[in-house]
């Protein structure tokens, strides 16, 4: 069985952990199914069209919805073991019980990641795109914080999270892993295009309310590039509420089903127009951005904001809620493994 997950060219801990995580959690899964193109869809917000190898058996184990219309529950070829949370289950048209928790919450159960004897320091883990756009290390240093790049080797990033006293997380999986190790964490956003849906999906699975702290980006250029990249990737502005998100996805599914020629569907034409517009906007902003005193003031504002965030009450899910979600997921995985024999 093949492993399907998003692979960021520059690396991203929350996706890259798939490369070793499932071999430890489900030993032997690669030999489970006789179909040569069968796949296990793992950790990440990857339940949207098109999924890889749609004509082969596809086993969904803890993945989440968020970046586009998902496949419908019951679609031939899809076998759903679990999804990330209740919003993903609802988007699929499945029972709420399918939405358990992100599988990364089970990382502390692996022998390689036993909690350290001592924890120290506060770390900031940005979203991998924010890490590309901003020079966060010296800014965090001024605020008395250590910046941990999510683009570093995934096991090393997880160990640094596990050894921290507190985690400021723009990376969703930094928060998931911190919470699993029972380390207080604070959600932050530095750009307007951080996907709220996936955060709320996971947060509800462990009984937490997601209300991130806005951390101003260090430069105007990074703020603008964060917005233009969303256009360049062809992603439309997100609806403001969860209800409108579901309605937008349903409408997209209906349009796709009604289109006899998907390559000329309205959705694809819009995607191409936005992609062209995004490339032009990014080139314009890249060319026209100035580097002056206003950028220095913005950096000072970011440092001050990081210091204030450390004084806020951090998050931590109720222990019973987390344990219950993890136990149910583990039970579902055990049942999945039992079906192999």
pLDDT per residue as tens digits for the range 251-303: 665 565 555 444 444 444 444 554 555 555 445 444 444 455 677 888 898 99
Segment 84-100, tens digit of pLDDT: 999 999 988 889 999 99
Confidence at residue 126, expressed as pLDDT on a 0 to 100 scale: 96
- Tokens in use for 265? 């569907």
For 281, residues 6+ apart whose C-beta sits below 8 A from its C-beta are: 228, 231, 232
The pLDDT value recorded for residue 140 is 96
67 vs 224: which has the higher pLDDT: 67
Rounded CA-CA distance 29/24 in Å is: 10
Residue 101 has a pLDDT of 97
pLDDT at residue 176 greater than cutoff 90: yes
pLDDT 10s digits, 298-326: 889 899 999 999 999 999 999 999 999 99
- Could you say which DSSP state residue 312 is in? S
Q: Is the pLDDT of residue 80 over 70?
A: yes
User: In the prediction, which pLDDT does 232 show?
Assistant: 37
Identify the three-state secondary structure at position 255. Answer: helix
Q: E strands along the chain, which residues?
A: 2-4, 39-41, 58-63, 78-83, 122-125, 146-147, 166-169, 185-189, 213-214
Residue 234: pLDDT band (50, 70, 90) is very low
Q: What is the pLDDT of residues 181-228, one digit of tens each?
A: 999 999 999 988 888 999 999 999 999 999 999 888 776 655 554 444
Confidence tier at 231 by pLDDT (50, 70, 90)? very low
Domains and their CATH numbers in the chain: 2-107+322-338 (no CATH), 109-212+291-317 (3.40.50), 227-287 (no CATH)
* Residue whose token pair is 């009984």: 207
pTM over 0.85: no
**Pair 230, 193: CB distance under 8 Å:** yes
**Reported confidence tier of residue 34, pLDDT bands at 50, 70, 90:** confident
């Amino acid at each position: 069985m093949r492993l399907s997950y998003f692979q960021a060219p520059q690396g991203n801990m929350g996706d890259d952990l798939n490369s070793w995580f499932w071999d430890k959690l489900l030993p032997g899964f690669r030999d489970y199914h006789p179909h040569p193109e069968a796949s296990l869809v793992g950790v990440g917000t990857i339940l949207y069209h098109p999924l890889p190898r749609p004509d082969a058996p596809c086993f969904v184990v803890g993945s989440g919805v968020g970046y586009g219309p998902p496949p419908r529950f019951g679609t031939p070829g899809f076998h759903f073991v679990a999804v990330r949370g209740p919003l993903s289950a609802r988007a699929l048209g499945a029972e709420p019980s399918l939405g358990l928790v992100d599988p990364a919450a089970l990382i502390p159960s692996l022998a390689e990641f036993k909690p350290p004897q001592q924890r120290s320091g506060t770390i900031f883990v940005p979203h991998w795109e924010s890490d590309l756009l901003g020079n966060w290390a010296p800014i965090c240093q001024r605020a008395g914080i250590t910046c941990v790049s999510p683009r570093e080797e995934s096991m090393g990033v997880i160990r640094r999270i596990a050894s921290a006293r507190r985690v400021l997380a723009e990376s969703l999986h930094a928060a998931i892993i911190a919470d699993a190790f029972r380390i207080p964490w604070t959600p932050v956003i530095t750009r307007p295009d951080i996907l709220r849906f996936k955060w709320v999906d996971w947060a509800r699975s462990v009984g937490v309310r997601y209300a991130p702290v806005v951390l101003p980006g260090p430069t105007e250029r990074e703020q603008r590039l964060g917005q233009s990249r969303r256009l360049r990737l062809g992603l439309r502005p997100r609806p403001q509420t969860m209800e409108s998100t579901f309605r937008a996805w349903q409408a997209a599914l209906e349009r796709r089903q009604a289109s006899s020629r998907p390559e000329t569907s309205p959705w694809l034409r819009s995607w191409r127009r936005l992609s062209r517009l995004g490339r032009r906007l990014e080139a314009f902003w890249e060319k026209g951005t100035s580097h002056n005193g206003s950028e220095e003031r913005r950096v000072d504002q970011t440092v001050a904001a990081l210091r204030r965030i450390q004084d806020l009450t951090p998050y931590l899910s109720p222990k019973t809620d987390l344990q219950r979600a993890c136990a149910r997921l583990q039970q579902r995985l055990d049942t999945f493994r039992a079906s192999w024999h």
